[in-house]
Every structure is written in structure tokens, then in C-alpha cells.
């Protein structure tokens, strides 16, 4: 399924569990960020990069430097969601992801729930100072 304006996005299906929701059965606001983090991590994994290996072998980690999120509609208990990720900009030591959360529907018309712009920075493990994104990662992401 192609998500509106995101034909080349990496996608990750997620089911909303009871633990993701508040007492009213609505996904707790911080859990949308967890869904987006999982999607970015799985994208790196499909490209052949495990975050623990990057930390151990290259001494780098990717951290969120900033984010702008818009909650449009709530996700609820037991919803089938698809989280998307696209890179909209890549710099020397950072990249900006455009991410969306969609509710899957029976009639094949996904419903947009949340959008975000997430700036991720590559940093050195010991100092947490910005470090150039390794060329082997940059080439696969561009």
C-alpha cells in the first residue's frame, strides 16, 4: 500500500496494545515517539546496520536533536498502524526524517493520524559531540 505523498517511504506495521494506551483507550502521546523510533531503527537494520554494533565498532550513536510533531487524530487500542519514514535532508552529522503514522483501514484508504519532523544527530559515544555520519551509512540513505 502506498501512503499519500510517501511512495518511497520505509514502512513498519505496528499494532496498538493496551499498554500503549491511557485509561480511555487512546495511545499515550509519548508512545507515538516510540513508534517512530522503532521505525527508524528497523530501517537502519534493513540496511544492514545494528545500532549496538555501530556503538561498539564505530563508537557512534544516533540521538534525537529536535522534533516537531502534529497530532491530528488519536490512535486507539487494537488499531493496526503503519509508521513511515523518509529522509528529507542529510547533512554532515545529522539527518531530518519526515515521519507519519497512519491507521490502516479495511477499505484500503489509510487515515493520517500524526506527522513529525525528527532531526537525528550522529554523535561520538564518549563525548556526545557531533560526528560525521559514516560514508557507508550516508551512501545507503541518500
Q: What is the pLDDT of residues 87-97, one digit of tens each?
A: 999 999 999 99
- Proportion of the chain above pLDDT 90, given as a percent: 87
Count the neighbouring beta carbons within 10 Å of the beta carbon of residue 71. Answer: 14
87 with 95: CB under 8 angstroms? yes
Sequence-ordered list of residues with C-beta below 8 angstroms from that of 45, at least 6 positions apart, any chain: none
* Band of pLDDT at residue 1, cut at 50, 70 and 90: very low
Nearest 5°: phi and psi at 13?
-80, 140
More confidently predicted of 57 and 108: 57
Mean pLDDT of the chain: 93
Q: Is 104 a catalytic residue?
A: no
> Was domain 10-141 assigned CATH 3.10.129.10?
yes
Domain ranges of the chain: 10-141
pLDDT over threshold 60, residue 136: yes
Over residues 116-127, mean pLDDT:
97
> The whole model's pTM is what?
0.90
Q: Are 101 and 83 in contact (CB under 8 A)?
A: yes
Q: What's the CA gap between 123 and 63, in Å, rounded? A: 7
How high is the pLDDT of residue 118? Answer: 98
Please choose, from the candidates 108, 105, 62, 52, the residue with its C-alpha nearest in 3D space to the C-alpha of residue 85: 62
Catalytic, out of 20, 22, 52, 89: 22
Amino acid at each position: 500500500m502506498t501512503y499519500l505523498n510517501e511512495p518511497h517511504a520505509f514502512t513498519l506495521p505496528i499494532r496498538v496494545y493496551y499498554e500503549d494506551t491511557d485509561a480511555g483507550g487512546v495511545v499515550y502521546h509519548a508512545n507515538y515517539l516510540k513508534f517512530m523510533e522503532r521505525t527508524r531503527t528497523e530501517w537502519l537494520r534493513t540496511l544492514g546496520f545494528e545500532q549496538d554494533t555501530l556503538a561498539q565498532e564505530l563508537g557512534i550513536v544516533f540521538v534525537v536533536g529536535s522534533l516537531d510533531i502534529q497530532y491530528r487524530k488519536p490512535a486507539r487500542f487494537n488499531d493496526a498502524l503503519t509508521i513511515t519514514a523518509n529522509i528529507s535532508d542529510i547533512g554532515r552529522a545529522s539527518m531530518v526524517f519526515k515521519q507519519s503514522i497512519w491507521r490502516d483501514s479495511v477499505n484500503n484508504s489509510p487515515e493520517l493520524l500524526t506527522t513529525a519532523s525528527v532531526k537525528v544527530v550522529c554523535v561520538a559515544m564518549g563525548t556526545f559531540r557531533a560526528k560525521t555520519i559514516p560514508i557507508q551509512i550516508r551512501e545507503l540513505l541518500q
